[in-house]
Structures are given as C-alpha cells and as structure tokens.
A and B are shown apart, each in its own frame.
Chain A
Amino acid sequence: MSATTTRASAPSTARGPASTPMSRMTALARAEMTLLGRNKGTLFAALFVPLVLPFSLRSASEQMDLAGAGLTVGTLILPAAIGFSLLFAVYSALVGVFVVRREELVLKRLRTGELRDGEILAGAAMPAVLSGLVQSVLLAVGCAALLDLGAPSAVHLSILGLLLGLVLCTALAAVTASFTRTGESAQVTPLPFMFVTMFGSGTVLPLELLPDRLASVCELLPLTPVITLVRGGWTGDLTGAETLGAVATAVAWTVLAVFAVRRRFRWEPRH
C-alpha cells in the first residue's frame, strides 16, 4: 500500500496535524470540562463547598488562642479555604472522574489510541486542577479584602505550596481510584483522607495549637506541607529548614503516589 493509493471511502483531503502530547491532553481536558459543566452534583460540591465552608470557621476561631500562636483570623481561614478547595474541587472530584471514566470503559478506549497513560490522567484532571487553582486565587483575594489579611510576605512559598498541592491531590485521587470499584463507592472512599487532612494537616486546626508530639506526627501527613507553605507565605515566619522540610515531605508523597499509580492503577473495570 503506497502513499498514493486512493482509499475508496476516504476521499478527504483535509487532514489534521500529527498529534502531540499537548494537543491530546487539551482535547481530553476540553471534553472533561464539558462533562464537569453537565454534572451538577460534582459542580456544586467542587465550587460551592470550598467557597462557603471556611467562613464557618470564623466563629470557631473565637475559641482558639490564635494570637498566642502568631496567627490571625485571616491566616487561619485562608489556608483552610485553600485546603478545602484542594480536597473538594480537586481530590474528591477527581476520584469520581477517574472511577466513572474507568467504569464507562472510557479509559480503556482512550488507551487504544495515541494517548500515553500519564496524558490520559493529566488531561482528565486538568479541569478540576484549573478550578482548584482559580478558586484558590479567588479565595486569597477574597480573604485579603474581607478579613483584613494584608499582602503575603513570602508569596512564592504560597504559590509553591499550592502547586505542590494540586499535583499531589491529583496523584492521590488516582491512588484512591485504584481501589474504588464503583461511582457510588467513590462518594465514600475519599472521606478518610479528607477527614485526616481537615483535622490533622492544619486545615481546620492549625498545628501550632496542637501538642508538640502530635504536631510533629501530623507534619508528615501528605497535605500538611501544602497548608504549612501556604500559611507560611502570609505569616513569613517559616525558616529555611522548615520550608525545605515541607517541600521534601510533599515531594516524597508525590513520588510515592505516582509510583503507586504506575503499579496499581486499574484501567478497566474488574470482571
């Protein structure tokens, strides 16, 4: 079959360009974005909860000794809000996306094409990651305006923390999806990690307020470094060693999660 052979049913002259990783992921992300817009339940949980929930912390904050820990209402609520955004808009939403696409055989179908495995997960995750990013920026602006938060003193730490958080939550969502069998169980399987993060990673309860020994264990949880970095960007009281430790912890969890996904991720439903 030479290149000049005419195809009986293929008289077309217009041909698209060779696909690239970027073109493939963009096409997939665009479709996922459309699907996100059509799934009202996920949309509500992903967009509404993180924007509203943190402000319920405000009354609870009155019983905390914030000043003693060098914190303000603003530096309590903003990291909490970003933590909620990562948990609801990114982590929990993506567990659902990965599981439902697998059960619909979409992942298997995608794997028959030119997409590589990593591109499939990254492309499908893109809308959720973007919404988490946009939400976090809006929350930062909102908190600065409403809570008298002021400008961050080391904004690069906050940005680094947020980016690490987005990558880590995507990878952890894929790990969780590996042992989640159905769309229904995807409502439940993200909960343990979400609770642990809310109460153990300094999201709702700053580690500064915990007993030292407990706090040093909690520092090793996956999202603790993310919250620490985001908060540290505003308070500006992270030492170099603390920053390095936080980044190392987050990177270690990411590497571990990616490794687990490569080994364990299921691309097809069990029979």
Chain B
Amino acid sequence: MIEVTDLRRVYGGGFEAVRGIDFSVRRGEVFALLGTNGAGKTSTVELLEGLAAPAGGRVRVLGHDPYTERAAVRPRTGVMLQEGGFPSELTVAETARMWAGCVSGARPPAEVLALVGLESKLGTRVKQLSGGQRRRLDLALALLGDPEVLFLDEPSTGLDAEGRRDTWELVSALRDGGTTVLLTTHYLEEAENLADRLAIMHEGRIAVTGTPAEVTAAQPSHISFELPAGYFVGDLPPLASLGVDGHEVHDRTVRLRTRELQRAATGLLVWAGQAGVELRRLDVRSASLEEAFLSIAKEVSASPAGPPADGTASRTKKEYAA
C-alpha cells in the first residue's frame, strides 16, 4: 500500500530532514514511525501525503505518486495533520459539513463525530474546543471518506489517558476492518500497543525497523537491586557465568545487563537464597521499546555512521552529543 525507496527531503535552507529512508507498509497493517522531535517523522509523512515533492527517492501510495498523481490518491486516503488547520470561528458541525463536501463517498458527518465522542460538541466553535477535542475532530475528518490508507501524525498528542485509549481502540478497529494506517508518535507505549511494525527514526534516517517484539528482542534486559550491607560486587557469583554482559554500580544499587534474563535472574536468586541475604528493591525487567529507543538515540549520535554528513548535519550531531 505504501512503498518508500531512498526517500530524501531537503528544506529551503539546505537542511536535510530526511536522508534516504526505505520502508513499506502492507495492506491492513498499522505502521508506526517513532522518533524524538526533529527526527524527520513529520517531514516523511508530508511526503507520503503528497504535500511536498521529495528531493530524491520514490514514494508510492496505492501504486501512485502522491504528489504528481494527487487526484488518483486523495479520494482513497485520510490525513490527520500534526496540528489543527480549522477556521477557529466555525462550529464542529460546520467544519465537518465543509469537509464532507470535499470528500468522495463521505459518511454522514454526525456519525463520524459520534465515533470520536464529539456528538455533544456539534454547536461549539473550534476555538472553544480543548486541544484533545481538536485532535479528535481532526481524526473524525480523516475518517470521513472511509479511507483505505490513513495517515495519523501524532494522533494522541494532547489527549488525556482515556482519550488516548479511545483513539487506540478506534485505530485497532479500523485496522481490523482492513484500513492501512501509518502513524507517527513519540509515545513508545502507543507504538508498542498499536503497531504491527515500526521504524525508529533518528536524524532523518531509519535506525531500526521490525515488529515491536523484534526491535525489543535486540535489546538487553536488566536486573537491578541494592547490595546487602557488608557485601560487594565481587561477592556475587561470577557475572559472566550468569550470562550477564555488563554491570553498573551507583552507590549501593547494582544494575546488571543480560540477554539471558531467566538464567541470570535464577543464578542471582539462588545465590541470594543460599547466602541468606535479602535483595532490596529487586527489579527484573525484560527489554522494552524505551530501551531500544534510548540506546538507538545514543548509538547513532555517538558514531559517525552512514554516508558523510554535510555541515548542518555534523553541527546538529555535536549539539546532540553535548
């Protein structure tokens, strides 16, 4: 449904926001682009939406170029921009009616507004809506044409916990109905919950891509605990024999890194049981997307990886490292 090959985007000032990325999204799949602010997520999505022409590479949405073949693509896509885009003096109902007139095969506006929980706000002016309500209005309009491909740029930013869960349920239901969804987010939990596959972007490149399980599986797990009084790290069983790759000690808190969580935890607990000591504040945790995310951000900025960067790029990198 979406194919991206060596995609690049360069802004007027010469800043290269997207630096050659590849990915594809299959029919009925939820694909998340994850990254910190400025990673290039929105710049990428705008190219997929056909709002701008790429500086290089190729985009295909539903088999067409979304920029040059706008008329072929737009009736089949729905777009939720990162922010607003509604006249502040129109009411919710007027905004939806306006958009419905611009969409082929529009669903009744009231029905879509009810879907996002705005049915009680029909007569309210857009300027009086909360940030979360505006996000939901935007989502409703993206759904008006019953799109085959849905682009959601940070759909749950500004929503409270309940609104976020409602949005997730809605997106899952759409996916189950066959809609292909590409979303950007900086909430790791959102990507973990919603995405069938994801790509973590960093400084205009894709650092890693795969299912949430694949991405986290590449990361180590952690065990942390407080050293019992009178014990030192050297008193623990040999760490390598437990399958531990590395450790850190802060004050009396030990943090072990391992790719064999069960073996390491068992070894540690058996030792503690035999030694008759209590491991206070014991925390055993398998790798999470968050760790994957943070370690990627760290690795990529530390190493001069990839093709030689231009002046702007190397400067941002230095700032990042500092």
Which residues from chain A sit less than 8 Å from chain B, CB to CB? 1, 5-10, 12, 14-19, 23-24, 26-28, 30-31, 34-35, 38-39, 101, 104-106, 108-116
Contacts and interface: CB of A to CB of B under 8 A. Distances in A.
Given A8-B177, A15-B107, A114-B102, 6 more contacts: A1-B148, A7-B174, A9-B177, A16-B105, A35-B87, A112-B51
Given A7-B174, A7-B177, A9-B170, A101 B87 contact: yes
A242 to B, nearest CB: 43
Contacts of B27: 1
B102 A1 contact: no
A180 to B, nearest CB: 18
Interface of B: 27-28, 49, 51, 70-71, 74-75, 79, 81, 83-90, 94-95, 97-108, 111, 115, 143, 146, 148, 170, 173-174, 176-179
B101 A8 contact: no
Contacts of A15: 105-107, 146
A104 B85 contact: yes
Contacts of A10: 107, 143, 146, 174, 177
22 contacts: A1-B148, A6-B177, A7-B177, A8-B176, A9-B177, A12-B107, A18-B75, A18-B105, A19-B102, A23-B101, A27-B101, A28-B101, A31-B95, A34-B89, A35-B90, A101-B87, A105-B81, A106-B87, A108-B85, A112-B79, A115-B102, A116-B70
B74 A113 contact: yes
A146 B140 CA distance: 54
B181 to A, nearest CB: 12
Nearest to B27: A1
Given A27-B102, A28-B101, A104-B84, A7 B94 contact: no
B104 A114 contact: yes
Among B89, B100, B115, the one with the most A-chain Cβ atoms within 10 Å of its Cβ is: B89
A34 B94 contact: yes
Nearest to A38: B89
B85 A39 contact: no
